Each structure stands twice: as structure tokens, then as C-alpha cells.
Homo-oligomer: A and B are copies of this chain.
Amino acid sequence: MDLKTLEDLIRIFEASGLGELEIEEDGRRMCLKKSGAGPAYQAAYAPMNPLPAPVAVPHIPEPEHVATIDSPMVGTFYLAAAPGEPAFAAPGDRIAESQTVCIVEAMKLMNEVGAKIACIIEKVLVENGQPVEFGQPLFAIRPL
């Protein structure tokens, strides 16, 4: 494992709520633990009113697939560049790395969202013209 990958792994782990992560692969074993993790405190405060689903933004569906393309910003989701134009991506499409799959509009700016990896689109998770939050999964994909 190169240092870049390790760095990314650590970043992902830190951003997560996990206390411990152990990976064993090809005779290599790696164990990440957060400092101060322990049973001495209550880890999660489940708010009395659970995080309300915004009226304007449909609740993020439970991802059924492991891999997704997520929205890089809050805005309005469009599958095509303009009404009547063909969709950038549809289920079954084979997508190359960096290929545009949709647009998220914020402040009249059309932000093209590209695939981070080559993949096949399995499902479109958001309807055309719907508002999306930062980080909301837009497509379920199968990496190639």
C-alpha cells in the first residue's frame, strides 16, 4: 500500500464515526484506532427529533449498492443539459472516468458532475429536477 492510499484511508477513517478499523489483505494487516475511543462516554446523541427530512429535499434513500456517485454540492439535479436533450447517463450505460453523468445547478451555474471512476450505471437515485444535498447519492454504480 502506498503512502497516498494510506493517507486517504486515514482521512476516510477520521471523517467516519468509527472507533476502530482493521484490514487484513495479502498477508498485510492494518489496524486504525481513534484516540480516546472507549466506553467511558456516550458516543452518539440520537437527537430527540431525529434529523428531520427537509420538505424540499427528499430523504436520502438507503443505498442498496455499495458504490455511488454523490452530489458534490447542494442544488438542483438535472439528468440532461436542457429539456428535450438526451440524458447524460442511464441505467446500463458504461461510463468512463471523468465522464459527465449529470448536472447540479446552484445559483444559475450548471455544475457538471463527472464519474470518479469508470463504471456502469445501475440506477438513477434522484428524479430529474429534484433538489439534492451535499453528499447525497445520485447514481448507484458498479465499478469496472
Contact = CB atoms under 8 A, between A and B. Distances in A.
Contacts of A143: 2, 4-5
Given A29-B22, A66-B5, A34 B17 contact: yes
Contact of A35 (B2, B6, B18, B24): B18
Interface residues of A, number: 52
Interface string A1-44: 11111111111111111111111111111111111111111111
A1 B62 CA distance: 22
Contact of A6 (B7, B9, B20): B9
Given A22-B30, A28-B25, A8 B39 contact: no
Given A18-B32, A37-B39, 7 more contacts: A5-B67, A6-B9, A17-B35, A20-B31, A25-B29, A36-B42, A40-B42
Given A4-B117, A17-B14, A36 B37 contact: yes
Quickly give the copy total for this chain: 2
Contacts of A43: 34-37
Given A36-B38, A39-B38, A10 B18 contact: yes
28 contacts: A1-B25, A3-B9, A4-B116, A7-B12, A8-B67, A8-B68, A10-B12, A10-B21, A12-B63, A14-B17, A15-B62, A17-B34, A17-B35, A19-B33, A19-B37, A20-B33, A21-B33, A22-B30, A22-B31, A23-B29, A24-B30, A26-B27, A36-B37, A36-B41, A36-B43, A38-B39, A39-B39, A41-B42
